[in-house]
A and B are shown apart, each in its own frame.
Chain A
Amino acid sequence: MQFKKVLTLRTIVATSAGLTLASSSFVAAVSVAGFVLGDTAWIAILVGGLLCFLAAFCFSELNGLLPSAAGIRLYFSRAFNDRVSLTVSILYMLVVIVGVVGAESYIISSVLTGVMPAVPPYIWIVLMLLLVTGMNIRGIKIAGLFQDIITYGLMFSMLVFGLIALFKTNFHFNAPFSPGGATGIISAVAVGVFLFVGFEWVTPLAEEVTHNRQISRGMMIALGVLSVIYAIFTTAMTATVPKEILAASAAPHLAFARATLGGVGVTWMTVVSLAATVTTFNAGLISVSRFMYATAREHALPQIFSKISLRYLTPWVSILTLFLVGLIVSGVILLTHRYLVLVHLAAAMESLVYVLAGLAVIKLRRRMPEQERPFRIPFGNLVPALTMLVFTVLALAVLVTSPWVLVNLAVAFLVVLIYVNTAVPYLKKKYQARRPAARRRPLRGTDGAEGN
Chain B
Amino acid sequence: MATHEEITESLTVFTDGYNKNGRLKIMNRDWDRVVVVQATDIDSLHTLTLVDGVVSLKEGAAGNPDLTVISDSETLADIFYGDITPTEPYNNGTLRIIGTEDDIIRLDFISLMIWGE
A interface residues with partner B (beta carbon < 8 Å): 1-5, 66-70, 73-74, 77-78, 82, 141, 204-205, 207-208, 290, 293-294, 297-299, 303, 306, 308, 310, 313, 431, 434, 439-442, 444, 448
Contact = CB atoms under 8 A, between A and B. Distances in A.
B36 A1 contact: yes
Contact of B112 (A68, A204, A297): A297
B85 interface: yes
A73 B77 contact: no
Interface in B57-91: 61-66, 68, 77-78, 81-83, 85, 87-88, 90-91
Contact of A444 (B6, B91, B102): B6
A441 B101 contact: no
B23, B102, B112: residue with the most chain A Cβ atoms closer than 10 Å: B102
B101 A3 contact: no
Instruction: Please name the 8 residue pairs, one residue from A and one from B, whose CB atoms are nearest each other, closest first.
Output: A297-B87, A441-B81, A440-B81, A298-B87, A69-B101, A439-B83, A298-B88, A207-B98
A68 B82 CA distance: 22
B77 A68 contact: no
B106 interface: yes
A290 B108 CA distance: 11
A201 to B, nearest CB: 11
A3 B78 contact: no
A1 B64 contact: yes
A440 B100 contact: no
A77 B94 CA distance: 12
Contacts of A310: 23, 27
Contacts of A208: 99-101
A181 to B, nearest CB: 45
A68 B109 contact: no
Contacts of B27: 310, 313
A440 B85 CA distance: 13
A290 B105 contact: yes
B117 interface: yes
A441 B93 CA distance: 22
A5 B99 contact: yes
Interface residues of B, number: 41
A3 B99 CA distance: 8
B77 A441 contact: yes
A437 B102 CA distance: 33
B45 to A, nearest CB: 9
Interface string B7-34: 0011001000000000100010000000
A87 to B, nearest CB: 14
A98 to B, nearest CB: 23
Contacts, number: 96
B117 A431 contact: yes
B70 to A, nearest CB: 11
24 contacts: A1-B36, A1-B64, A4-B65, A67-B96, A70-B91, A70-B93, A74-B91, A204-B101, A207-B97, A207-B98, A207-B100, A290-B101, A290-B105, A294-B87, A297-B108, A298-B85, A298-B91, A308-B112, A310-B23, A313-B109, A440-B81, A442-B9, A444-B3, A448-B3
Contact of A207 (B61, B63, B88, B101): B101
Given A1-B61, A2-B64, A441-B83, A303 B97 contact: no
Contacts of B10: 441
B104 interface: yes
A4 B67 CA distance: 9
Contact of B64 (A4, A77, A442): A4
Contacts of B106: 313
A66 B9 CA distance: 30
A228 B10 CA distance: 54
Contacts of A444: 3, 6
Given A69-B104, A141-B102, A306 B92 contact: no
Contacts of B109: 308, 313
B50 to A, nearest CB: 14
B61, B91, B108: residue with the most chain A Cβ atoms closer than 10 Å: B91
Interface string B35-66: 01000000000000000000000000111111
Contacts of A204: 101
Contacts of A69: 101, 104
A86 B57 CA distance: 36
Given A303-B117, A440-B83, A73 B91 contact: yes
Contact of B91 (A77, A290, A303, A441): A77
Given A2-B63, A444-B6, 15 more contacts: A2-B64, A3-B98, A69-B104, A73-B91, A74-B92, A204-B101, A208-B100, A297-B108, A298-B85, A298-B87, A303-B117, A306-B117, A439-B83, A441-B10, A441-B81
Contacts of A439: 81, 83
B115 to A, nearest CB: 8
B92 A3 contact: no
Nearest to A7: B100
Nearest to A141: B102
A297 B85 contact: yes
A82 B61 contact: no
Contacts of B6: 441, 444
